[in-house]
Structure 1
Amino acid sequence: MIRSEKTRQFIIEKTASIFNKKGYVGTYLSDITKATGLTKGSIYGNFKDKNEVALEAFRYNYAFQSEGINEKIKLEERSVDKLIAFLNHYKVEYKSIFENGGCAILNTAIDADDGNIILKDEVTKSIENWITRISQILEDGIQKKELKKVDTMEFSTRMVALIEGSIMLSKTLNQSSILLKNIEFIEEEINSLIVK
């Protein structure tokens, strides 16, 4: 069977939230065929296996979140405003993130941690990209003397950990205030770096 990019994209879009909610192990071929209305042959005619569908579904979920954040960051000039825009994304979008099963990075990292090397590598790369992006914004702010000197990688890693952990706790305990209060805490940390 010849692969069709249009069909591949359709399968990815229809299954992305299923993989995010049910995980790699919990998503069955029957879930994929039911969501897409396609046969097993059509699925495997476009993807070599479930692993490839899961990988592309993760990439789709990650890109969707990243693009939303990057668009907000691009609107800002100062480094501090870029970092606050980053946080504001989660303030505004947390409900839709929860409805989609939570953060794709966190869900996939836990799901793939001990068994799926390909997915784990992709998640690791995504987390490293996220930390690097925040670190670059901090470094730019330090260079421009907008922000005080700080260990940018340590700050970035802590910021990502607080966001991810807060999403997990808020969703699990059904208390969005955990995420929102921790975002306020990170904002205070960012504001304390402003050179006055």
Structure 2
Amino acid sequence: MTGRCALVRREVMVKLTMGDLPNGRVPCPRPGVVPWRATLAATLCALCVMGLGASDAHAQAGAAVVMPRCTVLLPPDTVRTVAGNGFTAQPQRQREEHVTDCAWAKGDSATITLQWFDRAAIQSSSVTRTLEGYADMLLTAGEEVAGKKRDAVTGMGGRAATVQGSTQVMLVVQRPDGVVRALAGGLTNKQILALAKALSGNA
């Protein structure tokens, strides 16, 4: 990965493959690309090489734990209410101080993975330092990968939107204290809506 990709590492923590990504790498940005497009290109580059999911969680299990923040974002009772019984929290490594990775899996049939970006993470962004701008940046990256437009989550006042992949759905939820980006596989539309409300704190 080039130095330019490394410069925007926080933005390239997308890591959500959505089932639409090619096996090869997306080219990293070239010199002369405007900052927004350069960062977005770097984000897409990282999407191809940095997968976040239950299989990754299992691979990390020897040196990873379930992050306390994950049980705050989605307590076990909430996971059961939103997605049904059988989901188990998966160990994850803490990759950055202000970015928390979380994952839940129900065998091989359904998964929920998410990343929590707190205000400090957003304030250190090289692209945008507002909650609205950060959420929009993540959704724009998802649209570029999936080749589809976002859909606002009904009843959330524009604070949450989804991008439909071929096998999974990306969900971005803007909260007063940060932004959550989730990837859900094997869930119904009703469950996705419930997940969005749970992550916003308004379940």
**TM-based fold match above 0.5:** no
Question: Which structure's residues are more often strand, by fraction?
Answer: 2
Band the TM-score falls in, shorter-chain normalisation = under 0.3
Q: Taking structure 1 as the reference length, what is the TM-score of the superposition?
A: 0.27
Q: Taking structure 2 as the reference length, what is the TM-score of the superposition?
A: 0.27
Question: Which structure's residues are more often helix, by fraction?
Answer: 1
